[in-house]
Amino acid sequence: MKGILTMKIDELDVKIVELFSADSDIGVLAASRQLAVARPTVQGRLDKLKKTGVIEQIAPTLNPAKFGYPVMAFVSVEISQNVGHVSVGAALEVIPEIVEMYTVSGDQDVLIRIVAKSNDDLQRVLDSISRTGAVTRTRSAIVLQTHFQNRVLPLFSQVGSDDQ
């Protein structure tokens, strides 16, 4: 089942993930040398972490601000109740500036993170969202400064040390 931890994480798993997180270009052979373990051990651990879904993918992390999208906003969205979140997801997925979407509990139905070239461009994106016909209201909060994001590694490292 996706999302459920199906393997026991140990200290070596944590070290491997930390190493590849710090330098995704390191390669399995160089990682095995740095960790002083056999190359097949590192490869096997990586394969198992991928197979169980602990590692979803090894991919570059893009920074939209560095290629022309310096404005980021979190937008809470109320949807038409007769539409449903699947239809809303399909409607919003075609807007490339929407980089994340979550259905949520509470007063709002959906939370999205969007990027834009400027505040005027942000307005254009918000208008595109409203024009989908699935959205009844949006509320946005512009990000002024990012202090950290996608900070999962400390949590993962803690899991690997829980048995000690």
How far, in Å, CA of 50 to CA of 103, rounded?
Answer: 26
Report the CATH number that the domain containing residue 81 is assigned in CATH.
3.30.70.920
Whether 68 and 116 share a structural domain: yes
**Does 6 score more than 80 pLDDT?**
no
Domain count along the chain: 2
Whether 48 and 109 share a structural domain: no
Q: What is the tens place of the pLDDT at every residue in 130-148?
A: 999 889 999 999 999 999 8
User: Rg of the chain over CA atoms, in angstroms?
Assistant: 20
% of the chain exceeding 70 in pLDDT: 93
Q: Is residue 54 part of a domain?
A: yes
**Does 160 score more than 70 pLDDT?**
no
Indicate left, alpha or beta for 134 from its phi (over 0: left) and psi (-120 to 50: alpha). alpha
How far, in Å, CA of 108 to CA of 137, rounded?
Answer: 9
Expressed as residue numbers, the domain containing 88 is: 64-142
The burial of 72, by beta-carbon neighbours within 10 Å (0-12 exposed, 13-18 middle, 19 or more buried), is given as buried
